[in-house]
Structure 1
Amino acid sequence: MSDKIQMAVNHALHLRANSYQNDAVAAARAALINPMGMDHKRSSAWYEYGWKEQLDFSDLYNAYRRGGLAFSAVNKLISRCWSSFPQVIEGEEQDESKKETAWEKSNKTILTKKLWKAFSEADKRRLVGRYAAILIHFRDSKKWHEPVDKGRGIAKFTVAWANCIKPKSYESDLNSEAYGEPTAWSYTATLPNGGKKVFDVHPDRVFILGDYTLDAIGFLEPGYNALTNIEKVEGGSGESFLKNAARQLNINFDREIDFNHLASLYGVSVEELQDKFNEVAKEINRGNDVLMSTQGATVTPLVANTPDPTPPYDINLQTFSSSVDIPGRILVGNQQAERSSTEDNKYFNARCQSRREMELSGEVEELVEKLTNLGTIKPISEFTVVWDDLNESTQVEKLEQAEKMSVINDKATSTGAPIFDDNEIRTAAGYEPIKEGDPLPDEEPD
């Protein structure tokens, strides 16, 4: 009976091994038929490297949630871009001397910090999952799937990940201005008890950041292969250190050793001798001052070769850094060389300022236009989204610049007229220019 059971187990193991082999062979064959990557000589290169051909939301989300570099890239970009909130002003350009208009005052209860906080959160989730959504809760007492009553206020905002909200149906009329746009969205909400509930949501109540089309390219996608390599480098080097720390032992017996006699000394059979050796190894690894005596045997630890992970890590770090357009020093928080760090900070500030003006401003304008069409914001002929300047010099830098201008003036005065006037120096130092008729700084006003 036991022989039959053993035969059945062996047969099952054989089938299982063959299934694993067949899966691997099938995957390799599929890679040959459908080439992956840019190496046309080796069409299965990506498969052999362990790189995924297609990335879905869970891949990008897990890279962000469990990968330090992906988390750092997304959060540092968001924290810098949203270090201050935008202003939506009436007209084309911002004039600090211009008083606040009635339209700007009326929007103070709509374009609030609560809105910009939801917008920045959606922006972060868009960087992770290609797109994200802001669900707008209007005070119209209607169902989610119904259009919004015009002129209603806003109660709150809900931010949704890309895997929670997807287009349900599209406008199919070629003559419609909304052709190809969703006519309904499907939103999966997570209930307090952990359950799920699906709602149909009207487009009036949804604002999308990012690109929900099938050919969209995510922020983390171009550098995903480098992140995969970095995970292998970190995990492989960590495993090597662990194996060395575990102190696995190898016992090499002389050929003259009689294992039957050795087993009898421990009072076990030859088959159970290995268990005794394992117990001895555990005692050695557990204690500090433990002796292992042997006769006719040599005990050596099994030591894994631990290569330096720095070179391959740095190469992949540079690849990922270039894919997200963030300097590597800023990405990992390395501030070694002062000049290099200063230049990296300037570049990163310029990169975030450009993203504000080229990308985020347009999306803020779309949101304002959406709320205008729904009657929540009063329509005007022109409005502008403005941000503060991330490249603006610090107060110390301004004073240094003013000092240099003063030194230039002193040198120029000895040979002729000064190069800069007092107001130019005051402006460079970050102070308001003195207008004609105003008291000088050391004078008391009448």
Structure 2
Amino acid sequence: MLFYRFGQHAGTVFTMTVVIDKVWPRTAGRIDGELVLGGVGVRALAAEYGTPAYVLDEEDFRGRARAWRDALPDGEVHYGGKAFLCPLIATWLAEDGLSLDVCTGGELAVALAGGMPAERITFHGNNKSVAELRRAVATGVNAVVLDSFIEIERLAEVAREAGVRQRVMIRVTPGVDAHTHEFIATGGERSKFGFSLGLGLAAEAVAAVAAEPYLDLVGLHSHIGSQLVDLAGFAQAAARMAAFLAECEARHGIRIPKLDLGGGLGIAYRAEDPAPPTPAELVAVLRDALAGLAAPPVLAVEPGRSIAGPTTVALYEIGTVKEIPGVGVYVSVDGGMSDNPRPAMYGAAYTAALANRVSDAPARPVNLVGKHCESGDILGWDMPLPADTRPGDLLAIPASGAYQRSMANNYNHVLRPPVLAVRGGRVTVAVRRETEDDLLRLYTS
């Protein structure tokens, strides 16, 4: 852990200019033109830890997590670990009173390593292996979310072998069209997830679970998609789920104590993007949809992107600037689709800014590209950067906290970047940079 102090040095007082923009972490600012996050300047970070790197604002992350908890004090807030998870994140969440969703055995291992109590972990996934189910049962997770009829039979057998009655939820596909990219829409009838409400499969699943003596139905679950900024889809899904819950309780004479309405609240990636709804605004919409129930269940939500996304900046060094007459300007950084595959996967759009200095040069559109042997290795088309942008400059891309380090890969055998948590001038290495030894260790000959 390193400590940096800004403010006064050799009799000189420095003035911090706060960056007031919804896409940057809340502690972001500039001192003498240099971007500062959590009291640490990016030049010092690059010199000590190299680039590319993810810089995570701890104060912002934990503040956003607590905002969700405060918006739903009588319910449950499960952080969606798939957005970004490491042991330090699990530690923060446990300390701040949140629960956690995992969807693989690996995510479960990381959550436990960070000290998240098993009874606050929910296990998701559309194709859990028998080994994963056995570990979930043995660990004592709060609930396993069932996703298929095969999984109902599989988990019932695992629970019988273990001699326990496993708590479960049923994932329901409510038939709601989430207005987002098709790859991250999960609530429609074509989704690979869950049991269709409209086709009657969800009702069949409830009956099947109710008939299993080793399964304890404690809730229904739905999730309609990600990067959603319109609350209408949430309201529609919540209303359908509330009606289905009441129908199930009346038909089977059982009490279903929890309704988990998933996550998916979006964030702003560019200054021109609309400000997303707040956690309190979303929770109010969900509560309204449940108001008609005679005995409202415990409400649970699963925010991921809305907590992690705005808190992290991806930091790069510019390597080349190439001007092609009649085509445009290509600015290459030392990362790319290996640390941020989202633009290549579904056209995600970002903003970028010089981080080591400010410039008075006029802005011009550039194509921001990575270093990989792939024409699709593009971080952004026609992104405005100062005309004097040059090799050696540091470049920062905000809103990089969700689904970037989680999806990072070793294409071209690059080394995955570190995650540097900053707060009050201190740096904690949440995830260290990979080394060539890490890569070579995987090979057997």
Name the TM-score class by shorter chain.
under 0.3
Point out the structure with max Rg over C-alpha: 1
TM-score (structure 1 length as normaliser): 0.21
Higher relative contact order, chain-length normalized (CA < 8 Å, sep 6+) = 2
- Structure with bigger strand share is 2
- Structure with bigger helix share is 1
